[in-house]
Chain A
Amino acid sequence: MAALLSSSSFRVLLLVLAAAAAPRPAGAGPAPRYAVADLPAALRENAHAVVRQQQEALVVKSVGRTVETTRRAVTILDEAGSRWASELVYYSSLNTISYFRGAVYDATGRQLRQLRSQDIRDISLSDGFSLATDARGRVADLSQPTYPYTVEFEYEVVSANPLFYSTWRPQPVEQLSVEQASFRVTMPAGLALRYQERQLPAGAAQAKTTQGTQEVYAWEVRNLPALEEEPDGPAVGERTPSVYTAPSEFEVQGHAGQLRSWEDLSRWTYELNAGRADLPPALVAGMQALVQGETDERARIRKVYKFLQANTRYISVQLGLGGWQTFPASAVAANGYGDCKALTNYCQALLGAAGIRAHAALVRAGSDEQDIRTAFPSSQFNHVVLCVPLTQQAPADTVWLECTSQTNPFGYMGGFTGNRHALLLLPEGGRLIPTPRYGAAENRRERHADVFLDASGNATATLRTLRTGLEYDGVAGLPGLELSEQKKYIGNRLALPNFTLNKVSFQPLAPTAAVPGLTETLALTLPGLAPPSGRRVFLTPNLLSRLPVPAASVGARQSEVRLDYAFTQLDTIQLHLPASLRPEQLPAPVQLTTAFGTYSSQLQALPDGTLRYIRRLEMPRTRFSASEYPAYLEFRRKVSAADKAQLVLLKTDA
């Protein structure tokens, strides 16, 4: 293509010229700020960016209006820190941006330029699935071609939605250090601030002061060194200082409420959504007819839920107060679609028509989301589900219904909504209740494989894998894909270096099973699975379930270890050998029992000449201190070694 360039030694010359090419601000300019030379070495260590100064202020003007201002200066040390060079400020029909300013400084602290309004882009923050949303943002990018440099952003957002107050989290992620950060909240007379402090170093909180009729709260931190995220550990944001704030009283678009307890939030949300349950009379009659003659309570609920799933779909519309208030049930009846609030409200109405009482319950949904902070009543939710108490059961039981999915198994709260707290919405004020949690017994992967090896080392295999509970979550969508896409998806995830996937099929567990499950059946060809070497053939009988050792950390483990996901793996592999091979050496059985998990594997020669490998791994839900991490690693190393154990086969005809 192009002639190769010799890398001659023009580097020194270049640096001089590059400096000459850099623009100069007109006149002397402002005095230097944020010089990188002023940074303490401890803050540079392990950091891609340093928060030099951050001042956040929340001024509560009234129950209906808040003003949030932020000023943040961040020094970007290298390319990996350049995400801090741009800033996105959200707005919507309830939040407006009063100003958005910025400037950028070179390493010596000399101002290079100021952000101008024409450099700010206005973007739609469509989530990609909502049919309509009013979420928008303004974005400014001050990134520079050479490092280090410092950016400074200042903006103010006026909100007519004081259901949400600020959360102060000056060090939200890893590899970011903080030189100085402060947070001030100003409350008007007669309105109390509610707040919760987390991980604050000594002296960070300052006494409440009074300024005229207003009360001022202030917090400040200095010199927080950068942290490293550790595998199976808490998020860095949980290990660093934060202050959560919330209103005690608020008003959104004429809907006033109190927020001193979970009951308050429950009552307000209930009232906002009340009176929207009317259904067309024909539909009411239809629901009554649907459950007529069905005496089992659970079966009645199941019938109504099945009707919901067959006749509706999820369409998200998030505009203004519509983010909290449902469309009427009659609209869903007419259109056959709605968002989470509308579909839950509709399902509640359908159940009501069938004579079944159900309650909406707010949750913070998401497979990566932490549970809400239960000790701090505030608006922490993004989703709503339906909770149906069973009245004829002893002991008391509850059916949980996810109303936005046409395929979610009846009563199942998977990784999206399970194992967390939900707030019941009741006219008298509801409380927090836990959603279902699935443990090692429910989250199972059971695999049965038959492997047929030929004399030249190639093999064919059939694999039957049942996944239940949260293991099922990951494959729940597979049967919905086109056949060729199913093959592609599975092929991309098989931990085998060399194979051809010939057949894929799925069979779900019966809908009455206690937890949902899906059996996947695969037919594979495995060229060169066990290539012969002279008189011998080598094979790792554990075909697919190798648990890797966690990467060794560079220093000592800092944070506690959280193994929040409990699961069980069971593998049975039947090896069918050609007549020309017999086992020379079987790996010794392994049995490990620890607090971190239990493991066993063994290989047996059966009378019919086949070999059977059985492996069992059970990992409980557990948390333990950093000091126990080496013992845990040792357990994982032993599992990994056992998983790789080789079987040696001898050629009988050699």
Chain B
Amino acid sequence: MRADFTFFISVASFNSLPAWALALCTGWLLTLTAQAQDAPLRFGRLDAREAAALLAVPTPNSAAAEVLCDFGQSTIQGKTEGFELRFERTARLLIRRQAGYEHATVRVLLYHDQKGSREQIRQLKGFTYNLTNGTLSKEPLRTEAVFSRKVDERLDEYAFTLPNVREGSIVEFTYVLISPFLFNLQDWQFQGAIPVRWSEYRTSIPSFYRYKELSRTYWPFDVNETGTKPYTTLYRENMHSLNGNLPTGSNSTYTIDTKALTRRWVLKNLPAFHTEPFMTTERDYLSRVDFELERIQFSEQQAPQFIAGSWAEIEKELLEEEGFGQYLRATTPLSTAAAPLRTLPDPAARAAAVREQVLAAVGHNGTTGLHARHPAKKVVELRQGSAAEVNLLLVAALRAAGLEAQPLLLSTRSHGKIQTELPVVTQFNYVVAHVALPDGQQLLLDATDASLPPALLPANCLNGQGRLLGPAGRWVNLTTATPHLLYTQAQLALAPDGSLRGDIRQEYGGYAAAEFRLPLPELRRHWQQTHPDWEINKAEVLAQEAPGRPVALGVQAHLPGGPAPAPTLYLRPMQQLLALSNPFRAAERRYPVDLATAPRTECTLELTLPPGYVAAELPANVQLALPANAGRFFYHITRTGPDKLTVVARLQLTKTYYSASEYAGLREFYSQALAKLTEPLVIQRP
């Protein structure tokens, strides 16, 4: 995985283990057998007959392009004074229509470190095949079509494009990526934006290295095999580095024989992946396998080097790191300023006060990540920092204020779900503060967003479970009971022409409060946009000062009626006030619905009828619920006086995760609720 390099830089030193330590070390491996498998694709070998057969198979869902075969292999090989990863990829794509031309351009990211070690691309080759009247033309990729570009301090992009791509072209490319960074065993993504006929990945890892796998897929693997095979590599050693008396450049070469663990995954006939609403990140849905270096052991006699063992080991390592654990021990002006807060007796109020201090002293620069980049003192001086820097400072300050605070690791929704059974640190990309209260309760605190009250984490953090560090290390559920609440309260008078006029109080509560803690012009603009039929006479903010309280917008508004008074008036006031539409637009869904927060919409309307008019026909009162009360709808009209009606509507979901099989019910629930809200009230002059 590429997410976080600083943690494993120390691994590099193992590369220089003396060669004699690399004694045969086969015995302790599982003895499994593996059949040698043919490659699913032979680069550069395509004839007209095969091309015609490939073209004859229709592309699913009329996609503009499709992956015919994508084949990757990774292994480790010896080099001078160390080892390196070798990744080879060969792919063949069919470009069906013009909209798919972009898939003939390939971009590869190459990592390099500050010391000058870099990943390199080699043996890049490509062909474009075009079948015209039974003849297959074959044109090679030209070197002038290959460009490299610096993306940032650590990444370069290598981009190339294939020649003469037309509708019906078959394009092929192959390259080898050599990486000195053994922690960066290439991940494999089986699925993408276009359909895939065949995607295959193989790894062959000598026994002295071991990687953890994280695989995710919504489609069962067609092949998922494990085996062993003999492994041989050459390892060169510069002699002068051991004995200064030898002439420079003298070296000796060793042959290392051991066994390799082989893995093979195949997925066939995958549909294209497209994001849908209410998803976390596409990484949670795409079929893929990721790796993390777990262990290095060069002989049975030698103790293994565990890189990423248990959660306990990961925590221990983190707490020793400069960009994490040491942050918590640094004394900064922030921790000094927090110390006097010890006098506040209520620990929750004290925690909130510390958070306020951090919010006021250091702004969030928008970046996430688990590790601090700059020293704590510098972040305080810059008055801005990443989420990790801000929140690690928060933990330290909470401790300085005498609270029992620990970092809590989590993965944001845009980073993906945690697989708790796999202790891999790169699953996390965010840290918040956890405070244990004397009464056994706990607080989760984040200091990146001042619009949120202290009790709420940013919505992007509401993703499954977080890992609490420290002596009480455990998983902490991040699901919140706080909804995304829109509450409307209206007192409206109906006129004989059918127009409505009156006061509307629009409240934004829970997570909606943070979203709508905006200046009046923006609140007003938003309300007008969602209620285009209303004319606003006056708008004011009724409450928004304190985070934790709802934001309330007060509107004096007018909904135009007909050209003249009418004896019968038909009103759909809930539709006019709530302006709801069914959020589940697609008829079908393949993946679960995953919301950060549960939506809840409520409206109470007190309606005054014009003199002489009565409510002739009113919609029936109704209550709807999803199975296990996973959603509730309530609609109720009361005649509160001869010329007065009170209409109450409430629509809410009570959980945030609905499986794909629950989708149809969820969508129908909204559909029925919306149909109810559109039923008219008939008001007549008898």
A binds B: yes
The interface of chain A, by Cβ under 8 A from chain B, is 1-8, 10-11, 13-15, 17-18, 20-23, 78, 80, 112-113, 119, 121-124, 126, 131-133, 141, 143-146, 310-311, 313, 315, 317, 334-337, 406-407, 457, 477, 480-485, 487-488, 491-492, 496-502, 527-528, 531, 533-536, 538, 548-549, 551-552, 554, 637, 640-641, 644, 646, 648
Do the beta carbons of A480 and B99 come within 8 Å of each other?
yes
Q: Smallest CB-CB separation from A133: which chain B residue?
A: B149
Do the beta carbons of B678 and A528 come within 8 Å of each other?
yes
Beyond A1-B480, A21-B334, A336-B164: 13 further Cβ-contacts under 8 Å? A5-B349, A5-B443, A5-B454, A6-B348, A21-B336, A131-B161, A141-B365, A145-B359, A335-B142, A335-B164, A480-B97, A485-B274, A527-B671
Do the beta carbons of A146 and B149 come within 8 Å of each other?
no
Do the beta carbons of A533 and B682 come within 8 Å of each other?
yes
- Mark B324-340 against chain A: 1 for CB-CB distance below 8 A, else 0: 00000000011011101
21 sampled A-B residue pairs with Cβ under 8 A: A1-B482, A3-B455, A4-B348, A5-B454, A22-B361, A112-B383, A122-B153, A132-B147, A132-B159, A143-B363, A310-B166, A317-B147, A337-B161, A406-B98, A482-B61, A497-B582, A501-B585, A502-B587, A528-B672, A534-B682, A536-B570
Residues of the A chain whose Cβ atoms lie less than 8 Å from the Cβ of B536? 552
Within 8 Å by CB of B529, from A113, A485, A533, A551, lies: A551
Q: Smallest CB-CB separation from B618: which chain A residue?
A: A533
Do the beta carbons of B548 and A5 come within 8 Å of each other?
yes
Residues of the A chain whose Cβ atoms lie less than 8 Å from the Cβ of B630? none
Known contacts A131-B147, A145-B359, A483-B61; is-contact A7 B97 (Cβ 8 Å): no
Is B478 interfacial (CB-CB < 8 Å)?
yes
Do the beta carbons of A2 and B443 come within 8 Å of each other?
yes
Residues of the A chain whose Cβ atoms lie less than 8 Å from the Cβ of B437? 3
Residues of the B chain whose Cβ atoms lie less than 8 Å from the Cβ of A536? 570, 617, 682
Do the beta carbons of B62 and A124 come within 8 Å of each other?
no
Residues of the B chain whose Cβ atoms lie less than 8 Å from the Cβ of A488? 274, 276, 585-586
Complex: A317 Cα to B676 Cα, angstroms: 57
Do the beta carbons of A126 and B149 come within 8 Å of each other?
yes
Min CB–CB distance B226 → chain A (angstroms)? 35
Q: Smallest CB-CB separation from A4: which chain B residue?
A: B455
Do the beta carbons of A477 and B99 come within 8 Å of each other?
yes
Complex: A535 Cα to B670 Cα, angstroms: 26
Do the beta carbons of A3 and B442 come within 8 Å of each other?
yes
Residues of the B chain whose Cβ atoms lie less than 8 Å from the Cβ of A124? 149-152, 157
Do the beta carbons of A10 and B337 come within 8 Å of each other?
no
Known contacts A21-B357, A407-B98, A492-B585; is-contact A498 B164 (Cβ 8 Å): no
Complex: A337 Cα to B165 Cα, angstroms: 8
- Mark B475-501 against chain A: 1 for CB-CB distance below 8 A, else 0: 001111110000000000000000000
Residues of the B chain whose Cβ atoms lie less than 8 Å from the Cβ of A123? 152
For B337, B346, B535, the residue with the greatest tally of chain A CB atoms inside 10 Å of its CB is B337
Residues of the B chain whose Cβ atoms lie less than 8 Å from the Cβ of A337? 161, 163, 165
Complex: A18 Cα to B341 Cα, angstroms: 12
- Mark B579-620 against chain A: 1 for CB-CB distance below 8 A, else 0: 011100111000000000000000000000000000011010
Do the beta carbons of B357 and A14 come within 8 Å of each other?
yes
Complex: A535 Cα to B671 Cα, angstroms: 23
Min CB–CB distance A261 → chain B (angstroms)? 37
Do the beta carbons of B682 and A18 come within 8 Å of each other?
no
Min CB–CB distance A337 → chain B (angstroms)? 7
Residues of the A chain whose Cβ atoms lie less than 8 Å from the Cβ of B678? 497-498, 528, 531
Complex: A123 Cα to B152 Cα, angstroms: 6
Is B675 interfacial (CB-CB < 8 Å)?
yes
Is B554 interfacial (CB-CB < 8 Å)?
no
Within 8 Å by CB of B165, from A336, A491, A528, A640, lies: A336
Is B356 interfacial (CB-CB < 8 Å)?
yes
Complex: A135 Cα to B365 Cα, angstroms: 24
Q: Smallest CB-CB separation from B361: which chain A residue?
A: A21
Do the beta carbons of B383 and A10 come within 8 Å of each other?
no
Is B362 interfacial (CB-CB < 8 Å)?
yes
Residues of the B chain whose Cβ atoms lie less than 8 Å from the Cβ of A113? 381-382
Complex: A414 Cα to B101 Cα, angstroms: 22
Is B641 interfacial (CB-CB < 8 Å)?
no
Complex: A527 Cα to B674 Cα, angstroms: 9
Q: Smallest CB-CB separation from A497: which chain B residue?
A: B581
Complex: A554 Cα to B539 Cα, angstroms: 10
Known contacts A1-B481, A145-B383, A482-B63; is-contact A531 B443 (Cβ 8 Å): no
Do the beta carbons of A5 and B453 come within 8 Å of each other?
yes
Restricting to B431-473, which residues have a CB under 8 Å from any CB of A? 437, 441-444, 450, 453-455
Residues of the B chain whose Cβ atoms lie less than 8 Å from the Cβ of A122? 152-153
Within 8 Å by CB of A13, from B348, B353, B453, B549, lies: B353
Min CB–CB distance B292 → chain A (angstroms)? 28
Within 8 Å by CB of A498, from B151, B163, B675, lies: B675
Is B660 interfacial (CB-CB < 8 Å)?
no
Do the beta carbons of A131 and B62 come within 8 Å of each other?
no
Residues of the B chain whose Cβ atoms lie less than 8 Å from the Cβ of A336? 163-166
Complex: A345 Cα to B674 Cα, angstroms: 57
Min CB–CB distance A11 → chain B (angstroms)? 8
